[in-house]
Structure 1
């Protein structure tokens, strides 16, 4: 499992004074960066990438400015060419939102899904533990 600490910025809030839903989506993407790096290093131009084919986010409680947010990220399932990622955002010890994405290992030249190699699969497994 990965943990990423986010300090909400004023621009993350909306007129109601709470964190806008779009900020959570960005924070979840930030939490997935170490996973992306397994496939493309430091985002150099490559012939393969990860395509997001599904995203769900559930909002269970308000988040506000002034307190750090912890994003927890873990891989829950690894298939032939895709894998599932579960994420949660906690503020003051409370889970305020959770999300699920499906990412597909994708060849940019052929524009088709390609298998996840054994080496990549082993790297992904490091992020599947719940600690």
Structure 2
């Protein structure tokens, strides 16, 4: 599991004082950076080297999250397939889970415009961060 601490900003709130629902995809993407670095150690966005693409994302809102306290994003690997993986994430504040979501990332070859297999080496690195209930 990976942890990321987010400090909510005033501009991320809505008229009700809740963190706006459009913010969580951005926070979750930022918290996936350690997984991106497993696949791309130099963190380059060079398309000849970058090899992940977002295929799907779902977000479930459990409780409105408020401004004023840090938010902990927990990131897990939930499934590893042949060419894709599911990344499960949760947003916590004061030991309460407020938001959860899953992103399906495809291991992608941009030069040939097609998915590529996830190697056993990467599968082993990813399995260390597997979601356990």
If the length of structure 2 is used for normalisation, what is the TM-score? 0.92
Partner-residue secondary structure (3-state), 1:15: coil
Count of residues in correspondence between the two structures: 131
CA distance in 2, matches of 1:4, 1:84: 18
C-alpha displacement of 1:63: 1.0
1:86 matched to 2:52? The reply is: no
Structure 1, gaps ≥5 residues long: none
- The root-mean-square deviation of aligned C-alpha atoms, in Å, is 1.4
For 1:44-123, what aligned pairs fall within 5 Å after superposition?
44=44, 45=46, 46-123=48-125
Q: Which has the higher helix share?
A: 1
8 Å CA contact retained: 2:4, 2:73: yes
In structure 1, what is the Cα distance between the partners aligned to 2:76 and 2:22?
Answer: 21
Q: In 1, Cα distance between the equivalents of 2:130 and 2:114?
A: 25
Any unmatched runs of 5+ in structure 2?
none
